[in-house]
Structure 1
Amino acid sequence: MPEALILPGMADAEPDLSTFENKTGLAEDMKFLASMPELCDVTFLVGDTREPVCAVKAVLASRSRVFAKMLYAAPSPQRKRETSTKENKLRLFLKRSSEPLLNLQNAAQQPSGQQHQTLIIEEFEPDVFRQLIEYIHTGCVTLQPRTLLGVMNAADYYGLEELRRACAGFVQCCINVDTVCALLASAERYIQYKCTKTLVQKVLEFVDEHGTEVLNLGSFTLLPQHVVRLILAREELRADEFTKFQAALMWSKKYYDNNPNIDIKEILGTFCEYIQFHKIPANVLMREIHPLNLVPYAIIMNALAYQTQKASTPESCLPTLADNTIATVTTTSRCPRSGKPSRSPSARDAVPRSDEVPIMHPI
């Protein structure tokens, strides 16, 4: 309930005066205003679906210089001619047509009048732009992880610095296991904006810290393919290699369900180079991974060969296993530390590299 406020010192000097504020009521009235198309004088068609979002030009212009320039800048002569031609065609059509409008709802959302403007906004999603317009009209908005990145970039784009700071502050407390995938997924659309880069870095640091939990999330399958590769390739990721494989397999199955024309083996193959199979125990390789028939046999054999050689050879004499590949050795030499014979690699007998496995184009 609004209350009467007495300013400090006013009680003694002006006993008959008080200040009454009803900010909540004003915000609700302005929100109602923006929801009534017939009371608005600009309609934005937002996103790929061209969803209509109505607003009051004077309110937008008073709150944002970007909107002021967009809405009140004098149109070029060519634009004036194009607008005039469209209006003439519309008048002729309405004059000839005697049929009722089929979609009354859409008709109500497009107010008539010479001063009404219609603009297309492609940079932001409808939900994001609607929240931005709500904030401009009412000074209030409910921030949520799903649209946070879009709202923060929209606030920066339209010069609403106080909203951008609020979003940046909310990021610090909203990054958790439940929201991390939604934040990364939304970053895909706004990657060209500077605010996105800062947020993505913070989110990836959280993913590194909670790797096992994040990789086991069902929402992990909603991430773009290149984001999944980025996560699996991070050296700082705190997750064992079998957990990484399971996450890649889960993502591949989800993608295959939506794209059955693509071989799931090819989909999973795009992640194999980021998984160090030689660090997965031999019994897990043979019991859990090999029966799936999704990982090239050469990769599994390479991993098993490395583990066998590691068990019988000093660490300093082991060859480096790169890209899940290890060469079969044919000649012998002596280990510099132990003096025991060690085998040197031969290109003639090398096991085919995993990167020779057919790899699908980026999805």
Structure 2
Amino acid sequence: MNAADYYGLDELRRACAGFVQCCINVDTVCALLASAERYIQYKCTKSLVQKVLEFVDEHGNEVLNLGSFTLLPQHVVRLILARDELRADEFTKFQAALMWGKKFCDSNPNTSLKDVIGNFLEYIQFHKIPANVLMREVHPLGLVPYNIIMNALAYQADPTSVDPGKLSPNRVRKSGQGRSMSVQSSLDPYGSNTTLSSSCSSEMISSGDQERKHSSN
């Protein structure tokens, strides 16, 4: 598809794009994202990524529970979890981050699971997870800072008692910056960077070559 676009073969490009879009389903969506992000510099790929992300948004809970979700690069996982359009409950998002983190730590045994999970916490609205689930399923793991759990519980008891910025700091920053956001975590040792935009094709611009090399070892 990208080669057809490069050489100006419009009919072939349209045929390839149409075929790939027809292949977007729950079984292929993660593989398509993992492949497409390597070629995001191409216009055709950007358009394809937007279509794939729209599918992920619509089938959020189902996609986040896929085993293949753990094969996505870290910056792509953050991109998905950060999307306002994602139709997934917050506990499912946490479970997806946990599943991804465990898989990553299996391949990188010297890496702390708590540090890995820390890259995703700002994209999860813990105050929307029922209190009994927070205390039974999340808190005992020791992966989420105590203040985040307490703020979430306090909000559920009395929403006026907690500053919204303490609940979802990333979303507060995003609303102040407009619809485009740079997603970069200081805990990400590989320096990958992703730009999200809802007004055009979502950009996955990554300087994460080290991340991919590290994950392949």
- TM-score bracket, normalised by the shorter chain, equals 0.7 to 0.9
Per-residue CA deviations over 1:199-253 (Å, capped at 9, x if unaligned) read 1111111111100010001110111111111110111111100000000000001
- Structure 2 residue 187 is matched with structure 1 residue 359: yes
CA–CA separation in structure 1 for the residues paired with 2:101 and 2:84: 22
- CA displacement at 1:189 relative to structure 2: 1.1
Per the alignment, do residues 323 and 197 of structure 1 end up closer, same or farther by CA in structure 2, a change over 3 Å counting? farther
Match of 1:321 in 2: 164
Match of 2:90 in 1: 241
CA–CA separation in structure 1 for the residues paired with 2:111 and 2:7: 42
- CA displacement at 1:324 relative to structure 2: 2.7
- CA displacement at 1:158 relative to structure 2: 3.5
- More relative contact order in 1 or in 2 (CA 8 Å, sep 6+)? 2
CA–CA separation in structure 2 for the residues paired with 1:200 and 1:214: 15
Which of 278, 295, 298 is the matching residue for 2:144? 295
Count the aligned residue pairs: 176
Q: State the SS of the aligned residue for 1:188.
A: helix
Please give the TM-score of this superposition, normalised by the length of structure 1: 0.46
Which sections of structure 2, spanning at least 5 residues, go unmatched? 170-185, 192-210, 212-217
Match of 1:218 in 2: 67
CA–CA separation in structure 1 for the residues paired with 2:108 and 2:167: 28
CA–CA separation in structure 2 for the residues paired with 1:159 and 1:296: 53
Which of 132, 135, 138 is the matching residue for 1:286? 135
Q: State the SS of the aligned residue for 1:176.
A: coil
CA–CA separation in structure 2 for the residues paired with 1:244 and 1:228: 10
Q: Does structure 2 retain, via aligned residues, the 8 Å contact 1:302–1:325?
A: no
Match of 1:229 in 2: 78
- Structure 2 residue 18 is matched with structure 1 residue 190: no
Q: Does structure 1 retain, via aligned residues, the 8 Å contact 2:154–2:162?
A: no
- CA displacement at 1:302 relative to structure 2: 1.3
Per the alignment, do residues 202 and 283 of structure 1 end up closer, same or farther by CA in structure 2, a change over 3 Å counting? same
The letter for the 2-side match of 1:237 is L
The letter for the 1-side match of 2:187 is I
Task: Report the structure, 1 or 2, having the larger helix content.
Answer: 2
Q: State the SS of the aligned residue for 1:178.
A: coil
CA–CA separation in structure 1 for the residues paired with 2:161 and 2:141: 29
Q: Does structure 1 retain, via aligned residues, the 8 Å contact 2:91–2:129?
A: yes
Q: Deviating runs (4+, > 3 A) in structure 1?
A: 158-162, 317-320
Per the alignment, do residues 360 and 162 of structure 1 end up closer, same or farther by CA in structure 2, a change over 3 Å counting? closer
Which of 41, 48, 53 is the matching residue for 1:204? 53
Q: Does structure 2 retain, via aligned residues, the 8 Å contact 1:215–1:243?
A: yes
CA–CA separation in structure 2 for the residues paired with 1:320 and 1:295: 19
- CA displacement at 1:159 relative to structure 2: 3.9
Q: Does structure 2 retain, via aligned residues, the 8 Å contact 1:221–1:251?
A: yes
Match of 2:25 in 1: 176
Per-residue CA deviations over 1:163-205 (Å, capped at 9, x if unaligned) read 2121111133111111111110011210111111111111111
Identity of aligned residues (%): 78
Q: State the SS of the aligned residue for 1:261.
A: coil
Match of 2:207 in 1: none
- CA displacement at 1:318 relative to structure 2: 5.4
CA–CA separation in structure 1 for the residues paired with 2:166 and 2:68: 28
Per the alignment, do residues 208 and 286 of structure 1 end up closer, same or farther by CA in structure 2, a change over 3 Å counting? same
Per-residue CA deviations over 1:277-305 (Å, capped at 9, x if unaligned) read 01101110110011111111111111111
CA–CA separation in structure 2 for the residues paired with 1:323 and 1:188: 32
The letter for the 2-side match of 1:292 is L
The letter for the 1-side match of 2:113 is I
Please give the TM-score of this superposition, normalised by the length of structure 2: 0.75
Q: State the SS of the aligned residue for 2:27.
A: coil
Larger radius of gyration: 1
Match of 1:251 in 2: 100
Per-residue CA deviations over 1:89-133 (Å, capped at 9, x if unaligned) read xxxxxxxxxxxxxxxxxxxxxxxxxxxxxxxxxxxxxxxxxxxxx
Per the alignment, do residues 360 and 227 of structure 1 end up closer, same or farther by CA in structure 2, a change over 3 Å counting? closer
Match of 1:277 in 2: 126
- CA displacement at 1:160 relative to structure 2: 3.5
Match of 1:309 in 2: 158
- CA displacement at 1:321 relative to structure 2: 1.9
Q: Does structure 1 retain, via aligned residues, the 8 Å contact 2:154–2:161?
A: no
